Amino acid sequence: MPPIAAEQTSPFALSIAAAVQATGNAVSRTRLFDLIRTGEVDARKVGRRTVVLADSLRAYVERQPRAAA
């Protein structure tokens, strides 16, 4: 049986807490909800729980300006 690729094992939806942690706390919980509200980050409701789509969060972070060296 072939090994499972890393992208197949990565979650595609993150809880709010996990999304904040995934950014290294660069995006606060409040800021994340603002980003969801404005549509800059895509999220879904699963029951009562809000989950952030990991690809959307990654794309948001990658759109930010590079840090100066």
Determine the distance from the C-alpha atom of residue 30 to the mean position of all C-alpha atoms in its chain, rounded to a whole number.
14
Burial class (CB in 10 A: 0-12, 13-18, 19+), 53: middle
Q: Among residues 12, 3, 24, which one has the least CA distance to residue 51? A: 12
Tokens of 61: 């972070």
Q: pLDDT at position 56, please?
A: 97
Q: pLDDT at position 69, please?
A: 74
Instruction: Note down pLDDT in tens along the chain; length 69 residues.
Output: 566 555 567 789 999 999 999 999 999 999 999 999 999 999 999 999 999 999 999 999 999 999 887
Residue with tokens 């990654």: 58
pTM value is 0.80
